Homo-oligomer: A and B are copies of this chain.
């Protein structure tokens, strides 16, 4: 196992720091999704189903258009997973009484149960990470990650107050 120095390239400290950030985000996301993926496989679902279940659970009475804005995928891509989730009774749709073109979506009991099972693995991971640090570190984490997000979407991070067209 030869000379380590021979492998060092001349990065500026800044570039090294930025690359470490990139790698942290890659590894964190890779592991963050690994546990739900295993649970989803048992149901014949994939990661896309989790995302839909998560954001419908988090934003009761969300519409298709709003969900598309969050996920940033096409309507056709969403349709594939959403249709299956509705057919198998994880998600309910009902017409918005104030604009019957809109379909308000909520989780069914079954959907809530699966959501909880999936998301609890991720919450446990965050809980561990948060407990290994302190309040200031968590606040730093939040501020930096917000800075990574495109400016126009930063408001979404507190979606219960940020998303506007919500109703019952």
Could you list which residues of chain A lie within 8 angstroms of chain B, going by C-beta atoms? Answer: 1-4, 6-9, 14-15, 17-32, 34, 51, 54, 58, 60-61, 72, 119, 122-123, 125-130, 132-133, 136-150, 153, 156-161, 164-168
Contact = CB atoms under 8 A, between A and B. Distances in A.
Contact of A28 (B1, B6, B25): B25
User: Among A128, A133, A143, which residue has the most Cβ atoms of chain B within 10 A?
Assistant: A143
A133 B137 CA distance: 12
A133 B144 contact: yes
Contact of A144 (B7, B130, B164, B165): B130
A132 B137 contact: no
Tell which of A3, A26, A166 has the most Cβ of chain B within 10 Å: A26
B7 A148 contact: no
Q: How many copies does the complex hold?
A: 2
Query: Looking at A27, A144, A150, A168, which has the most chain B CB atoms within 10 Å of its CB?
Result: A144
A147 B7 CA distance: 28
Contacts of A133: 140, 143-144, 147
A22 to B, nearest CB: 5
